[in-house]
Structure 1
């Protein structure tokens, strides 16, 4: 797996005009959890975690990132989705 700062920077390139406080694994996990829970959307318009997961994977695959970085980001999204689905949340 790529190192954490590299994955963090790669994740940020997927979103225009999105800033995050902090760096590292915890901030990346929090951002992915928020994305999967659709927290940036009005509650009435939110999609399910699974719909957001598919959208996230599509966004990653359509990006200009290197293939190994794409796979690492998809792996992280999959891990976080499994944790959220099992009732566990942010670490």
Structure 2
């Protein structure tokens, strides 16, 4: 239960940081296509395509949070054994 209490907040923090950094990178690398920006176009909204990238991102962030949780619990165990 203690590992879960450490894992859940660390997962949320790592996921949020990963989303912010990836958003900054994507925004910095984006170059708009000015030929498409034509007022005569229809008012349709397109959302793009989805793929496996969100799942891969989620697994990567969960792995980072897991290793962070392991490091925290190891540090706590070392403190307990050192104090005795």
Q: Is the pair's TM-score, using the shorter chain for normalization, greater than 0.5?
A: no
TM-score, L = length of structure 1: 0.30
Highest relative contact order (Cα 8 Å, sep 6+), 1 or 2?
Answer: 2
Which has more helix, going by share of residues?
2
TM-score, length basis structure 2: 0.32
Larger radius of gyration: 2
